[in-house]
Chain A
Amino acid sequence: MDMGRERIAKRAAQELMDGMVVNLGIGIPSLIPNFLGDKRIFFQAENGVLGIGKSPSKGKEDANLCNAAGYPVTVVSGASYFDSATAFAMIRKGLIDVTVLGGLQVSEKGDLANWMVPGKRVPGVGGGMELAQKTKKVIVVMSHVSKDNEPKIVSTCTLPLTARRCVNLIITDRAVIEVTDEGLLLTEVMAPYDVEDVVRYTAAPLRIAASLKRVE
């Protein structure tokens, strides 16, 4: 396990509060339940489950009880099953408090691109558009730079968009950045990186919060 991914997931877990209804994307977001302690969160999945619990132990998997990525899950007391149209009714009606999604690019206005790389990968958008556009709070978790060391936080997304002006918070292996009406606000820097590193590898203007926290 890449420690950067764990660290991002651990930080994102702090954003989830007791009693919230939360939808997690695949990839780094799927690690978040490992860091929630005693918090009671109702995890929703697009395939039609509200109240996803821990992963089953080996041998206890049920092929008919899976998350949206097709992996076995369990349910907590109070869980419900429903069809996918009902799952998206919850999403479009704004009943999901937080969604945590992966990202390829986020712009300074909070535009999100996370579904295709033209000429390379066209996986399709899945339920990402609805989640990004309709969830009360959208958190994007991703590495700060791409494999080619290119900034993923940019002035304007060059990749096809998932949704415009939808992202509220960006958590990377180097920083926590809020998307505000006045642009991007750097609130936390993760050691061993410093503010200069973060600014250098962010291709959009960053304001530095007066209360900037350095996280060891």
Chain B
Amino acid sequence: MVRNEYGKIISIEQAASYITDGCSLMVGGFGGVGSPPSLLQAIIEKGVRELTLICNDTAFPHLGVGPLICEGRVKKAIVSHIGSNPIAGQRLHDGTLDVEFCPQGVLVERIRAGGAGLGGILVDIGVDHEWLAAGKQVIEVDGKRFLLELPLTADVSIVYAKKADPFGNLIYDKSARNTNPLVAMAGTITIAEVEEIVPLGALDPEAIVTPGVFVHYIVQSNGVNWKWIWEESASPNGQRKN
């Protein structure tokens, strides 16, 4: 029997109350894999608007953060790509969605910096790239040029994990880990949706990926309510027309 000894285990409805109009929302996941399905569903149902979304990508139209984009709940997205969600492309073109593109590795490192309390990071990715470097401070260290990239944090971070204990210690499942440990660190409030809540002491301290100190609330997942992209399409191996 799991005891809610830290008061962190709450209902999905209670969790959704932390996500309000105009807030910044950071979401774990990569192409929808590892995004928290029940929390995202609750946010849609609650009707929250004007969100600033920070996520690896805009997923696919019907899964992950995709529906938030498709239903017009997001005013600005900070992501590395939108290619798998054509509605995001349409909204970008018709001006109903503002997109700040960030190279994937820079994006996750900015999130990590936000979660780690750093003031910025120096990266040489795109330092000579007119579009990416535009408006950014260049800092020279030992004769090498770097862009100063700023940390990212959010009012609320939502992540998906395989198991949590009542303190919020998290372990993940295979490639569904992706951006989740980083996103978990970067929220002012972090909510973890998990497949299973286990008693305190049931997780091996050596195996814990996200220490519970980063996690404010835990909700029990209802499971994925979408069809995966590979369940719908006959195309194997992730082949897409280029």
- What distance in Å separates the Cβ of B186 from its nearest Cβ neighbour in chain A? 11
Asked if B125 is at the interface (CB within 8 A of a chain A CB), the reply is yes
Q: Report yes or no: A85 in contact with B84, Cβ–Cβ below 8 A.
A: no
Which of A57-65, A193-201, A204-212 is the contact stretch?
A57-65
Q: Report yes or no: B126 in contact with A124, Cβ–Cβ below 8 A.
A: no
- What distance in Å separates the Cβ of B224 from its nearest Cβ neighbour in chain A? 7
Among residues 160 to 176 in chain A, which have CB atoms less than 8 Å away from a CB atom of chain B? Answer: 160-161, 163-164
Q: Could you say which residues of chain B place their CB within 8 Å of the CB of A35?
A: none
Asked if B92 is at the interface (CB within 8 A of a chain A CB), the reply is yes
> 1/0 per residue A47-58: CB within 8 Å of B?
111000001000
Q: Report yes or no: B174 in contact with A64, Cβ–Cβ below 8 A.
A: yes
Among residues 202 to 239 in chain B, which have CB atoms less than 8 Å away from a CB atom of chain A? Answer: 209, 224, 228-231, 236-239
- What distance in Å separates the Cβ of A50 from its nearest Cβ neighbour in chain B? 11
Among residues 90 to 142 in chain B, which have CB atoms less than 8 Å away from a CB atom of chain A? Answer: 92-93, 99, 101, 103-106, 108-109, 111-112, 123-126, 128-129, 131-132
Q: Could you say which residues of chain A place their CB within 8 Å of the CB of B128?
A: 164
User: How long is the Cα–Cα vector from A49 to B103 in the complex, in angstroms?
Assistant: 19
Which of B9-17, B46-54, B74-82 is the contact stretch?
B74-82
> 1/0 per residue A4-42: CB within 8 Å of B?
000000000000000000000011101101000000000
Question: Chain A binding site: helix, strand, loop or mixed by DSSP?
Answer: loop
Q: Report yes or no: A126 in contact with B80, Cβ–Cβ below 8 A.
A: yes
Q: Report yes or no: A125 in contact with B240, Cβ–Cβ below 8 A.
A: no
Closest to B162 in A: A64
Q: Could you say which residues of chain A place their CB within 8 Å of the CB of B182?
A: 83-85
- What distance in Å separates the Cβ of A203 from its nearest Cβ neighbour in chain B? 20
User: How long is the Cα–Cα vector from A81 to B33 in the complex, in angstroms?
Assistant: 14
Given contacts A83-B179, A123-B89, contact A31 B80 (CB under 8 A): no
- What distance in Å separates the Cβ of A3 from its nearest Cβ neighbour in chain B? 14
Asked if B165 is at the interface (CB within 8 A of a chain A CB), the reply is no
Closest to A2 in B: B241
Q: Could you say which residues of chain B place their CB within 8 Å of the CB of A83?
A: 108, 177-182, 209
Interface residues on B, range: 35 or more
User: How long is the Cα–Cα vector from A68 to B240 in the complex, in angstroms?
Assistant: 13
Q: Could you say which residues of chain B place their CB within 8 Å of the CB of A88?
A: 104-105, 108-109
Q: Could you say which residues of chain B place their CB within 8 Å of the CB of A81?
A: 172, 174-175, 177
In this complex, which of B108, B126, B175, B178 has the most chain A Cβ atoms within 10 angstroms of its Cβ?
B175
Q: Report yes or no: A126 in contact with B178, Cβ–Cβ below 8 A.
A: no
Q: Could you say which residues of chain B place their CB within 8 Å of the CB of A178?
A: none
Contact of B176 among A45, A64, A129, A133 (CB under 8 A): A64
Q: Report yes or no: B81 in contact with A124, Cβ–Cβ below 8 A.
A: yes
Given contacts A30-B238, A48-B178, A126-B80, contact A66 B33 (CB under 8 A): yes
Q: Report yes or no: A85 in contact with B81, Cβ–Cβ below 8 A.
A: no
Q: Report yes or no: B33 in contact with A126, Cβ–Cβ below 8 A.
A: no
- What distance in Å separates the Cβ of B214 from its nearest Cβ neighbour in chain A? 13
User: How long is the Cα–Cα vector from A60 to B143 in the complex, in angstroms?
Assistant: 52
Q: Report yes or no: B178 in contact with A130, Cβ–Cβ below 8 A.
A: no
User: How long is the Cα–Cα vector from A105 to B109 in the complex, in angstroms?
Assistant: 29
User: How long is the Cα–Cα vector from A64 to B195 in the complex, in angstroms?
Assistant: 12
Asked if B57 is at the interface (CB within 8 A of a chain A CB), the reply is yes
Asked if A142 is at the interface (CB within 8 A of a chain B CB), the reply is yes
- What distance in Å separates the Cβ of B46 from its nearest Cβ neighbour in chain A? 25
Residues of B whose CB lies within 8 Å of any CB of A are 30-34, 56-57, 60, 79-84, 89, 92-93, 99, 101, 103-106, 108-109, 111-112, 123-126, 128-129, 131-132, 162, 172-182, 209, 224, 228-231, 236-242
Q: A48-B177, A68-B30 are in contact. List 20 more A-B contacts (CB 8 A).
A: A26-B238, A27-B241, A45-B175, A55-B236, A61-B231, A65-B175, A66-B31, A67-B238, A81-B172, A88-B109, A102-B242, A122-B92, A123-B82, A124-B80, A124-B82, A125-B104, A126-B57, A126-B83, A130-B104, A163-B126
